Structure 1
């Protein structure tokens, strides 16, 4: 039966130079090339979703309760976009 022990060599032997920085050999980016989140894509999708929510107010409904919910959700989505942008404004992307 195969052993389940992990071999640790120590030193720099278990570090892979990926070009950007030296990472441990068990880091996902060392095996797959890149990992992270596509922040600009998420922001763009959130802004599109908020605009879509606001555009759904145009319709044949007579009550305004639906409008208030749509506005509340759109403001919530935009809050997270602005908050994320504000928190990451000084970081290098």
Structure 2
């Protein structure tokens, strides 16, 4: 049968055992700085955006009879590509990432 009482120990519950593992607390603004990651890959995101737009347009080909789905797919693709074009225009003249 399981014991219902809490076992008493010699250590106080508010004291933590400190073990030196070599790890340090990471800064909150760049938690992965120790691993060499300092930002996002803008090129990969741009390529992914263009490919996602093409996939959305490929979904127009299908067995649906109404055109409401087609309008939504085209509108979402146009919005996505407008954001990508805006990003390209605004990033002209800056250092490449």
What range is the shorter-chain TM-score in? 0.5 to 0.7
Pairing 1:32–2:28 present: no
Larger RCO: 1 or 2 (CA < 8 Å, sep 6+): 2
Where does structure 1 lack aligned partners over 5 or more consecutive residues?
A: 2-25
Q: Give 1 or 2 for the bigger CA radius of gyration.
A: 2
| RMSD, aligned α-carbons | 2.0
* TM-score, length basis structure 1: 0.66
Which of 59, 70, 87 in structure 1 is aligned with 2:90? 87
* TM-score, length basis structure 2: 0.63
Hey, which of these two has a bigger chunk of helix by percent? 1
Task: Show structure 1 runs of 4+ deviating over 2 A.
Answer: 26-34
Hey, which of these two has a bigger chunk of strand by percent? 1
Where does structure 2 lack aligned partners over 5 or more consecutive residues?
A: 1-14, 16-26
